[in-house]
Amino acid sequence: MARSKSSKRWLDEHVNDPFVKQAQIDGYRSRASYKLIEINDKDRLIQPNMLVVDLGSAPGGWSQVAAKLVGHKGRVVASDILEMDTIAGVEFIQGDFTEQAVFDQIMATLDGALADVVISDMAPNISGVNAADQAASMYLVELALDMACQVLKPKGSYVAKLFHGEGYDEYVKLVRESFDKVSVRKPDSSRGRSREVYLVAKGFRGA
């Protein structure tokens, strides 16, 4: 079966992508690892000994970076609907964090501790229908923000992937209501033609 032009372009891009090649050399599970590394270099969010919650963590690129940054005395609690292979220093809960049973499991794993940072690189399964994809992506980040507000300690930080489009401005406004400082980042490792950006929110005001 002949590949469509767009899937061929993606494949060519992927094969020749320096970040894909670098991920293989560095042992990261995805090129997305470099997005978090870049953001953290700039914003200094994740530090040694911190507790980080990673939402939508599979295949584990962000969890790998977070685990390295927090070190042996820190903790990373990750969750995804999909399976994720074990990562040293990462406690993984499989399931939909918006379901009560999975939420309870995450809370039990946190065991009363509040997170210093909540990170989310989640994106919906792409249907190709822009309006539907945008709505699905906004729904996910709204849920991620709700979760962050429940588990973050005061002055904590939040990072989430966002796509420009319907609902974007309203969401940024919503985040500003709960955090002292909100910035938008477009890491070099994010493909230029992608509409994705990363919202970095610092100084959580408390639930």
Q: Where are the domains of the chain?
A: 5-204
Residue 60 labeled ligand binder = yes
Q: Please tell me the predicted confidence (pLDDT) of residue 120.
A: 97
Residue 180 labeled ligand binder = no
- Answering whether pTM is above 0.75, one says yes
Q: What are the tens digits of pLDDT across the range 183-205?
A: 999 988 665 667 899 999 999 99
Contact 55, 118 (CB under 8 A): yes
Residues paired with 118 in a beta bridge: 53, 158
Residue 80 labeled ligand binder = yes
Mean pLDDT score, 154-179: 96
153 is catalytic: no
Q: What are the tens digits of pLDDT across the range 87-145?
A: 999 999 999 998 999 999 999 999 999 999 999 999 888 888 888 999 999 999 999 99
Q: Which of 5, 153, 161, 173 is catalytic?
A: 161
The class that CATH gives domain 5-204 is: alpha beta
> Is the pLDDT score of 18 beyond 80?
no
Give the integer Cα–Cα distance in Å for 190 and 187.
Answer: 5
